Chains A and B, each alone.
Chain A
Amino acid sequence: MSALTQGLGPHAGFILASYGAVAAILVGLTLSIIRDHRAQKRALAALEQRGAGRRRSERDTP
């Protein structure tokens, strides 16, 4: 880590903080979208399993 910091010169802290911020923001965004996608998929599957949205004749047919 110190070798990397030395290689980046006197402003290493600013460079590493920039890349850290990019990683934190984009990983957070990706995880939130994936979590939302999974939650909606689960909710939709649960509703469809209960027969929601099917017409009465379809649902009443054994």
Chain B
Amino acid sequence: MLLLRRFCLVAPFANDMASLIDLANPTRFMRFSSLLLPWLTGLSVLFLAVGFYLAWFVAPPDYQQGETIRIMFVHVPAAWLAMMFYSMMAVSALGTLVWRHPLADVAQKAAAPIGACFALVCLITGALWGKPMWGTYWVWDARLTSVLVLFLIYLGIIALWRVLDEPSRAGRAVAILTLVGFVNVPIIKFSVDWWNTLHQPASVFRMGGSTIDGSMLWPLLVLALGFTLFALMLHMLAMRAEIMRRRVRTLTILEAERLDRLAVQAQGTPA
């Protein structure tokens, strides 16, 4: 009976896992992503267009921060995505190290530049928001410094991918670095609670509900969804490029080996 109950609980997840594992096949992923990409592109354009319209023409200026609140609509989604992409990379790193998943390090490599760009957007827009509101572009407090560290970790990961030629060796080294760096993600999230900082505490996802008025919250959520779909579309495209790069590498090596064999045969054949 207990076994049956366990089976009932596990079976639906087992099906989900099986379909995920099916997708992990690069050929299936290429087919699936070519079907999904146009939809992701269309939806991201739609949500971004509606989101920017709401952010610029519907959301009112803040009673304290005035029009500078419009910077929030790009700063906050960029911060979320910088952390989300790093978390995705940490899961992929586990996939590389524990399950030797064929697409895990492809996903990780493709995600790094996208996460780095969103971390950079977060830092630049944060500095441009900080100057008029705090009177300074930068302070070395916990939130700002931990996001800068996240950006530097992203750069380190991208550099490590470029230094090591052999993809599976590079994938394992990067996976270890990614998992070590993951300790920074909860530090970013909770830095505003653990230390005194100029940065405001969490105001959207918090116990007791959001402290942002609906007239600003909805444009923010629509834009966040638009940016997320856009980033996932870029990630899928970058993964496809990486799969093709690996195929090109393998075929080039096979071709070189074939030419080598032909050269040896030609030398061994008497004239």
Interface of A is mostly: helix
How many A-B residue pairs have C-beta atoms within 8 angstroms? Tell me: 98
User: Smallest Cβ distance from B111 to chain A, in angstroms?
Assistant: 12
A30: chain B residues within 8 A (beta carbon): 234
Select which of B124, B241, B255, B258 is within 8 A of A18 by beta carbon: B124
Beta-carbon contact of B255 and A25 below 8 Å: no
Task: Kindly supply a per-residue 1/0 record for chain A positions 5-32, scoring 1 wherever the CB is within 8 Å of any chain B CB and 0 otherwise.
Answer: 0011111101101110110011011101
Chain B contact patch, size range:
35 or more
Interface of B is mostly: helix
The yes or no answer to B180 lying at the interface (CB within 8 A) is: no
Q: Roughly how many angstroms separate A56 CA and B259 CA in the complex, as a whole number?
A: 12
The yes or no answer to B25 lying at the interface (CB within 8 A) is: no
A: number of interface residues (CB 8 Å): 34
* Pairs across A and B, CB under 8 Å, 24 listed: A7-B67, A8-B70, A9-B61, A9-B66, A11-B66, A11-B132, A14-B68, A18-B70, A18-B74, A19-B74, A21-B121, A22-B74, A22-B78, A26-B121, A33-B113, A34-B237, A39-B241, A44-B244, A47-B252, A47-B255, A48-B251, A52-B251, A53-B251, A56-B258
